[in-house]
A and B are shown apart, each in its own frame.
Chain A
Amino acid sequence: MNIIFVLAPASLVLALVGLGAFWWSVKDGQYDDPAGDAARILNDEPDDGPLP
């Protein structure tokens, strides 16, 4: 049963990494243009990324 003291925190840490990534992606503006990002993948040219 003691394994729970390792596994529960481990899963939390993993989830926190995910939350951190989500936080960064929101702050980075990745949800500002969902329509454009969906369309941009169809373009062949390399993409410079959003303006600051």
Chain B
Amino acid sequence: MLPQQLANGLLLGATYALFALGFTLMFGVLRVINLTYGFYFTLGAFLALWLTRAGVGLVLALPAAAVGSGLVAVGIDALLLTRLRRARADELSYLMVTLGAVLALYAGMAALLGPDIRRLPPGTIDEAAILLGPIRVTAAQLLILGACAVLVAALAALLRATRLGLGIRALAENPDAAALMGMATGRMAALVSFLSGALAGAAGVLIGLNFNAIHPYMGESMMLRGFVVVIAGGLGSVAGAIIAGLLLGIIEVLTAGYLSSGLKEAVAFAILVLVLWTRPQGLFGRSAAVRA
């Protein structure tokens, strides 16, 4: 049973990490708690649902849904946050605006589409289990693991090895200095919004595919875990988000499997609190003095 439980934990953790990837990017670079993130996750899943129903294969539907979610993210970002950026509003204003927006977006989607759970058409992905020794996994789960690895590698390469990445890092480090150096920070911020929206959309497709449950509020139910992962991992740290996500998944599964399923969440949150008590900036976060 243990190998299967570890695999369960790893796969659950991968979904958390996948969800948190774009969230931590948005958080870390734009320094904004953007609660609309969960909506792009929902949107990606719905875009893929409509595309696959129209007969488009997953290979095409996945990137298309990601790009679509990214573009919507840029639009919503421009609509909501440009004014706040210009006014140099504080963190809390962003929190509040995006909270209001995301309430309206989820409810609008539910009003338009109905709250029912939908699934991607059968046969979108092979649903048969794959046996790896004592472990059973599905193609969707392997796809999530693979996507996690590929997206992390691509993100790391983008941030570390390209001029664009240098710009993004400069923006994260000090937006004022970046602007003074002649960087088009507005365009750069839009780009980051696009990237994180697209990552959210891709995560929505893959997680919707795995759990077979696509509904307007699906992003909302991931948000709390997303917060935990991003903050336990350290704001803006891609590696931190991945490790925190995987750990959270494994801890939850092992608690449920060997301790008590009723305590699954309690143990996960207790560990979160303990982590913060001992490392106030998360596992991989930088101290406030450096960021200030």
Say whether A associates with B. no
Contact surface of A with B, Cβ cutoff 8 Å:
none
B residues bordering A, Cβ < 8 Å?
none
